[in-house]
Chain A
Amino acid sequence: MPIPERKKPDLRPVSDETVMSSSVAWAKETRSKAVARAESQGFPSRQDEYWKYTQPDAFISEQVKLTSRLRPELEIFSAQTEYLINFENGHLSSGRLPSVVGCDVERLGESTTLDSHWIRDLYGQLELAGQNPVERSLAAVNTALATEGVVLRATGILDHPIRIHSVSKGNADAIVHHVIKVEAGASMTLIETGQYGTRANIVIEVDVADTGCFHHIRVQDGVERHIHSHIFARLGKMSTFKSFTLTSDVKLTRNECVLELTGDNANATVAGACLGDGEFHHDDTIFVTHDAVNCESRQVFKKVLRNGAVGVFQGKILVKSGAQKTDGYQISQSLLLDDDSQFLAKPELEIYADDVACSHGSTSGAIDDEALFYLRSRGVSHTKAVDLLTLSFVAEAIQEIEDDTLADAILNHLTKALEIR
């Protein structure tokens, strides 16, 4: 059977406008290169090794529409003191951005019109580096077209998290690109909540300098949403990167995270928990490259699936030849609440150094009958007992969140989400 010809993205109508509107040379160049990159790569298809388990069609088709009623939004971090940035239908809300001591906060659009600016060395550059060895054409499309996003440069230790909250009404597609630089010794937490659009293509580029510290917590929900996100991060010496994502209700999500540990003694964690019910397909695709000595990386993913929900995990640890004393850990587990749900996992290790400790594990299991009986024997109903065991199952991933208050907020949010189900 002949393999169908790969669909070429036709970015001209939109990209011409975006590229031309870039008034400075570097932005024009970065964007046109990204257009060329996306065009030569073509859109992903099921024939691609890394799209075997997830159908990319919904990300690249003409339009995706919402049909059902949306659920009421739950306030997750309401008790939290924070710096809030609002997005509406994929656009950064007009009005003033918060002023944060120890962090520059700018609009992406404005930053790309400045010539001598640190962002020129970062925008689209980590994305470009992350295209090898696996092509990620939808990220290139994002770099080519994104005009919305925030640009953060942390120079100090931030006293509160910065939260990006998005609201989307109607059938908006969103292309958002955040660029973050954490300077030496600086530390910040970024939280993302809400929905950027009916369909969203999100790229976050994070450059963590030596001894810098970046924490990221993301809550993805929204019935019928389609989210494809990429995080590209580069870690310097003794730096820390920790990202946690909670996903529920979303129809289709693919979260790709491409990390490169380039400085010695760096530390990276990518974790996620998802609750899938019914029409739900969630894909975590992680690529961690160790390119320095004595670095530690952790991937911790937990998925609870029911009523035909599908979970995918593709996690890779690549240890380059000089990256001795690497400690790589990877665990992906699913709790399947019925026979209709599916978990597809592909853990990969590729190691070229000889003094390395890398471990990986992947399991699929049903609810523990002993524990279920224990809870029921105390008077807890079957449904409530399954909910408690669901929380118990995902707790290990939530514990990867550094800040206990934020971890508790996530746990409370999940408890409430289970109650209103």
Chain B
Amino acid sequence: MLEISNLHVQLEEEDKKILKGVNLFLEAGKVHAIMGPNGSGKSTLSYVLSGKDGYQVTDGSAHLEGKDLLDMKPEERAAAGLFLAFQYPVEIPGVGNMTFLRTAVNSQRKLRGESEMTAGEFLKEIRAKAKDLKIDAEMLKRPVNVGFSGGEKKRNEILQMAMLEPKMCILDETDSGLDVDAMKLVAQGVNALRDEKRTFLVITHYQRLLDHIKPDLVHIMANGSIIKTGGPELALEVENNGYAELLGERA
């Protein structure tokens, strides 16, 4: 599904290298988790994959189903099936959540050469999906993320994911700022979307989220590259011993 090889990235505005040769191979239907200390480059990886400005790829590649991701605009990457759930979802006053979502769904369809979803179809689908995530009609009507609590914002991200039906989902610290109940709800939303054709890359600091979203593989990222890959037990190891030991092993 997603193949990242030898990815080197630095900041555009200053000569600071952040990713120093990341290699990752994500198969369809699998859930991968990336853990790592602050500043290891986890969020940068998610931004570079989704096409945020300000980063310069100096070497390496990233392909989604064989297509060169790094060559595409952010909206084209989305239409190709990539989705990033933001760590800090952006507030957009004055634009209704529904309007925004319908614009997004139909923009992607248009880019893929598919017919647009009618208002009726859209309404039916969003109501059903919002209900599962305990998002009420009021929240759908309100401006995008404005006045939403931390938990509501993250649930709204998952709702967008459910509506856009991406193939490759990246969750950037979706657990940050969530209480236990909110985390469970978000995890349920994610789990409901798991199937053999959809791949997840879950970026997190803590093992806790991985209790609810069970990963197939866990990668440890440090200083801009993947230093260790293992099964779910690797996450537990980090939880118990911290990163210091792993970093030490490497040194």
Contacts and interface: CB of A to CB of B under 8 A. Distances in A.
B164 interface: yes
Given A374-B89, A374-B90, A380 B95 contact: no
B89 A392 contact: no
A51 interface: no
A376 interface: yes
A388 interface: yes
27 contacts: A370-B90, A371-B92, A373-B51, A373-B52, A374-B89, A375-B92, A376-B74, A377-B52, A377-B86, A378-B75, A378-B107, A379-B75, A379-B78, A379-B79, A379-B164, A382-B73, A382-B75, A384-B107, A388-B103, A389-B92, A392-B94, A392-B95, A394-B94, A395-B93, A395-B94, A396-B93, A399-B94
Interface of B: 50-53, 73-75, 77-79, 83-84, 86, 89-90, 92-95, 100, 103-105, 107-108, 111, 143, 160, 164
Contacts of B84: 377
Contacts of A381: 75, 107, 111
Given A384-B107, A388-B100, A388-B103, A377 B78 contact: yes
Contacts of A374: 86, 89-90, 92
Interface centre among A377, A392, A398 (most CB of B within 10 A): A377
A393 interface: yes
A369 interface: yes
Given A380-B103, A392-B95, 10 more contacts: A373-B52, A377-B51, A377-B86, A378-B164, A379-B105, A381-B75, A382-B75, A384-B107, A388-B103, A398-B94
A377 B80 CA distance: 11
B111 A388 contact: no
Given A378-B78, A380-B107, A391 B95 contact: yes
A391 B86 CA distance: 23
A388 B89 CA distance: 16
A200 B214 CA distance: 69
B94 A396 contact: yes
Interface string A144-163: 00000000000000000000
Interface in A108-154: none
Given A388-B100, A388-B103, A379 B108 contact: yes
Given A379-B108, A379-B164, A371 B79 contact: no
B93 A392 contact: yes
Nearest to A385: B75
A63 to B, nearest CB: 41
Given A376-B75, A379-B164, A380-B103, A371 B94 contact: no
B90 A393 contact: no
B75 A392 contact: no
Interface string A399-412: 10000000000000
A396 B143 CA distance: 12
Contacts of A375: 92, 100, 104
Contact of A388 (B51, B73, B75, B95): B95
A395 B100 CA distance: 14
Q: Tell me whether chain A's interface is mostly helix, strand or loop, or mixed.
A: helix
Contacts of B164: 378-379
Contacts of A395: 93-95, 143
B12 to A, nearest CB: 12
Nearest to A387: B103
Q: Which 4 A-B pairs have the closest CB atoms?
A: A395-B94, A379-B108, A379-B78, A376-B74
A384 B94 CA distance: 15
B176 to A, nearest CB: 17
A389 B95 CA distance: 8
Contacts of B143: 392, 395
A389 B51 CA distance: 19
B160 A378 contact: yes
A388 B94 CA distance: 9
B94 A369 contact: no
Contact of A384 (B77, B90, B103): B103
Interface centre among A379, A380, A394 (most CB of B within 10 A): A379
A382 B51 CA distance: 13
Nearest to A378: B104
Contacts of B111: 379, 381
A380 B75 contact: yes
A376 B72 CA distance: 12
A392 B92 contact: yes
A79 to B, nearest CB: 16
B74 A377 contact: yes
Nearest to A380: B107
A399 to B, nearest CB: 8
Contacts of B92: 371, 374-375, 388-389, 392
A380 B108 CA distance: 7
Nearest to A368: B90
A374 B84 CA distance: 9
A380 B106 CA distance: 9
B94 A379 contact: no
Contacts of B100: 375, 378, 388
Contacts of A384: 103, 107
A376 B94 contact: no
Contacts of B50: 377
Contacts of A382: 73, 75
A384 B92 CA distance: 14
A36 B160 CA distance: 66
